[in-house]
A and B are shown apart, each in its own frame.
Chain A
Amino acid sequence: MELAWLLIALPLLASAVLGLRGRRMDETEIGTLACGAVAGSFLLALLLMLDVAVRHGAAVVVGGPTWVSVGALNLALSLQVDPLSLTMTLVVTGVGLVIHLFARGYMHGDPHYPRFFALLNLFVGMMLILVLASNLAFMFVGWEGVGFCSYMLIGYYTHKPSAHQAGKKAFIVNRIGDLGFMLGAFLVYRAFGTLEFTAISEQSPTVLAAGGAAAIAFFLFVGACGKSAQFPLYVWLPDAMEGPTPVSALIHAATMVTAGVYLVVRMGMVFALAPAVLNLVAVVGLLTAVLAALLALVQNDIKRVLAYSTISQLGYMFLAAGMGAYTAAIFHLVTHAFFKALLFLGSGSVIHAMEHAIHHAGRCDDPQDMRHMGGLRERMPTTHWTMLVGALAISGCPLLAGFWSKDEILFATSRHSYLLWLVGLGVALLTAFYMFRLILKTFYQEPKLGPAVHDQVVESSAVMTLPLRILGVLSILGGVLNLPGHWFGAGWLHHWLHPTLGPSLELLAGGREGNELLGMVISSIVALTGIGLACSCYAAGRGRGAALAARYPRVYGALVAKYWLDETYRRYLVEPGNELAETCAAVIDAGVVDGSVNLLGRWVLALGQDVRHYQPGLVRSYALWFVVGAVGVVGYLGLVGLGPWAAGLALVLLATLAGAVAWVVRPRNEG
């Protein structure tokens, strides 16, 4: 079981090596080391999976060093190897490996190549800590770690001030969520006396029977919102697209943003005992899904579309969790990792090609703007086909991975509330629509920048297209993980996760019986409708989109302005915060702190000036002081030897003497 520690250690060690010696290595070495570390972790994860399977999914806690041991508080850095954490581990290392391979080609020629891979590996290590930790404290270490790496990687292009801002924004908004996480953890500790997941799951029904689950669940959900970009803490994710595309794929699509979902599922028992909070989770998730999907409709930057899409799909996962369908949430997490990573990497490939083409044509347009693209189908066939697969998957096209996972979520929703189910279908429609808007604008329409640029576009190298192909295959076949029905091989993921999620799912069982087949048919129709609408608006240069925008200018304006959420934050939170900081700096820091230190200094100086006069430099004055001291000492001895009256007499004499001496040696012109 120490394999688990090795699994985490590999990327961290590689990161350290790259950080320290990376500048002296060449690109091949760096890429091999980085990818090798992640590959090693992936293989170890597979081995661990076999081990867990043999044990029928029983959790194993791999002990580690004690971190804090104060009084009754005892936090250990220990890992928990069970089906849920392994699932996440496989996603992180597997998809992470693919993205690392892609990044070797994408970042080729970048002047800070080693720093990039060092940070990327560090991120993988931190994420593994997050998912493999066995208690909330160690998980929080990973939580913060990935936040930090996210900040560093978003701001990777140090020459772009917008990148710095985006990084800061991400970190700060995450922090708000982290506060929720910490409050939740404190409440957990107060209730359970421990932060270990196994203990929490087992003891929840008894400890939280009298209530208290709602508060814990609520605060933990706030934390999840911060990390997983749910309303109203999603504003950082679109800005995070300032980072390199592999970063967007890995961190902001496949792994870090899913940490919130993982947290909710991991604390499933607690949430199961707080039905009100679960409702909140579902509603917030669905609300986010709707808002983000609407915003994705009006974006022109290819990566921003995908960013809002990610937020939207995360909303789906929270909807599933809120409906008590933890397995469905995890299932969608996995499939989403496949096709979202695919889409991001594909867009990376497109951006890469566009950049070169624009540069070679001597222009300086934005390579990420879809209004500059078009007709790339002929020039970049592999990218085109793989991205098409990804788009179909995310739209819920039948038989592809996304269909199965999305359908399971919708089915679970339909069993509890038809209204939410309908809204969910609406989101699916929007998803299909904006996704194909992206595909059509990028690959099918007329090249917007003319033949000068278009002829320069070349397909990306095999280093980049191979990962795309791998992810494409996974997007097609991924649904196999959890097919519905009761035949052999169906519901594999459900069975796999059952040992971990079983107890909480039992608590959550409820809702009407539904017709899954009917649901599948309806959602297929919805998906195809969405695709069809997109085609009618955007295929082959039909500019219906613009016409639609002109017809509802206020709606369009609100969407373009992102509901003015950023502005609201700025006005009510950021600016008062700045003012407070400035006040503190001027008044408290400069005035109080510096002032008191300076005051102390002045006192010392003044004291020195006064005392100076008692050192006249004359031998006889010194002698006089000797005598005064002698009187004091002898007086003390008298006190000891004779009794209080002697001491009293001595004190009187001493006082008289001291007074007389002070009077004699007071500062005079000639001392």
Chain B
Amino acid sequence: MAVGSLVVFIICAVVAVFGAWRMITSHHPVHSALYLVLCFAATAVVYLLLGAPFVAVLQIAVYAGAIMVLFLFVIMYLNLGLARDVLDDRRRRIVVGVAAGALGLLVLMIALFGGGLGQAVKGPMPYRVEDIGVALCGPFALPFEAASVQLLVAMVGVMTIARPELRREADRREAAGR
């Protein structure tokens, strides 16, 4: 395998894992969010290495650019300050360590030693972005439409859940409770 790809990959992998680790061990929620952004960015580079430019850009634009922004927005809106909960009791840490470790180990082994998942694939990048577009409007048209409906539903749902209680509803509920 080309050394260049491997080196780049290792750098990105280290950065991603570092970001993930710091995210879960950080005391401040905003710090956690930012570390996660870092992790996403590294992952985007790995996507590029895997021959998926469209997905890489999508990752930056949607994940890092929209989702994490939303997270940050909510964190700041709730104005939480320092979290006091990091890594609570020791027993729990042990167990969770075992659990997560087991899962990761298993997946890893399946990935590395399961049927013919070679270490690397040589060859030119087979796709162009146009191919993705054609597929979305062709064979994958239905999921595409379904996804747009889903976004609509999510929007409506969020507005329903998160809106402040109207005064009329509040009065009615108080009357019922009495």
- Say whether A associates with B: yes
Binding site for B on A (CB under 8 A): 624, 627-628, 630-631, 634-635, 637-638, 641-642, 646, 649-650, 653-654, 656-657, 660-661, 663-664
User: A631 contacts B110, CB within 8 Å?
Assistant: no
What is the CA–CA distance of A237 and B115 in the complex, to the nearest angstrom?
89
Taken together as a complex, chains A and B put the C-alpha atoms of A143 and B113 apart, in Å, by: 80
Bound-state CA distance A661–B102 (Å) is: 13
Closest to A626 in B: B99
Write out the residue numbers on chain B whose beta carbons fall within 8 Å of the beta carbon of A634. Answer: 103, 106-107, 110
Q: Are B99 and A624 in contact (CB under 8 A)?
A: yes
Are A631 and B95 in contact (CB-based, < 8 A)?
A: no
Nearest CB on A from B24, distance (A): 14
Chain B residues in the interface with A (C-beta under 8 A): 91-92, 94-96, 98-100, 102-103, 105-107, 109-110, 113-115
Q: A660-B95, A661-B95, A664-B92 are in contact. Are A642 and B113 (CB under 8 A)?
A: yes
25 contacts between A and B (CB under 8 A): A624-B96, A624-B99, A627-B100, A628-B99, A630-B103, A631-B102, A631-B106, A634-B106, A634-B110, A635-B106, A637-B110, A638-B106, A641-B110, A641-B114, A641-B115, A642-B110, A642-B113, A642-B114, A649-B109, A653-B106, A657-B99, A657-B102, A660-B94, A661-B95, A663-B95
On chain A, the residues within 8 Å of B110 by CB distance are 634, 637-638, 641-642, 646
Closest to A660 in B: B95
Contacts of B98 in A (CB 8 A): 653, 656-657, 660
* Interface of A: prevailing SS: helix
B102 touching A654 by the CB < 8 A rule? yes
Residues from chain B with Cβ under 8 Å of A664 in the complex = 91-92, 95
With the chains together, A663 CA to B95 CA distance in Å?
9
Q: How far is the CA of A661 from the CA of B110 in the complex (A)?
A: 24
State whether A624 touches B115 (Cβ < 8 A): no
Closest residue of A by beta carbon distance from B107: A634
Report B118 CB to chain A, min CB distance, Å: 15
The answer to whether B99 touches A661, judged by C-beta atoms less than 8 angstroms apart, is yes
Measured CA separation A624–B96 after assembly (Å)? 8
* Residue on A nearest B115 in the bound complex, by CB: A641
CA distance A656 to B101 in the complex (A): 12
Which residue of chain A lies nearest to B88 when distances are taken between CB atoms in the complex?
A: A620
Given contacts A624-B99, A641-B110, A663-B91, 10 further A-B contacts (CB under 8 A): A634-B110, A642-B113, A642-B114, A646-B113, A649-B105, A649-B106, A654-B102, A657-B102, A660-B98, A664-B92
CB contacts (< 8 Å) of A635 on chain B: these are 106
Q: Which residue of B lies closest to A662 (CB)?
A: B95
B106 contact from A628, A650, A656, Cβ within 8 A? A650
Complex alpha-carbon distance, A657 and B105, angstroms = 13
Task: Output the nearest chain A residue to B103 by Cβ-Cβ distance.
Answer: A631
Is the CB–CB distance between B92 and A646 below 8 Å? no
**Chain A residues within an 8 Å CB radius of B109:** 638, 642, 646, 649
Q: How far does the alpha carbon of A650 sit from the alpha carbon of B102 in the complex, in Å? A: 8
- The smallest C-beta distance from A647 to any residue of chain B, in angstroms, reads 10
Distance from A648 Cβ to chain B, minimum over Cβ atoms (Å): 12
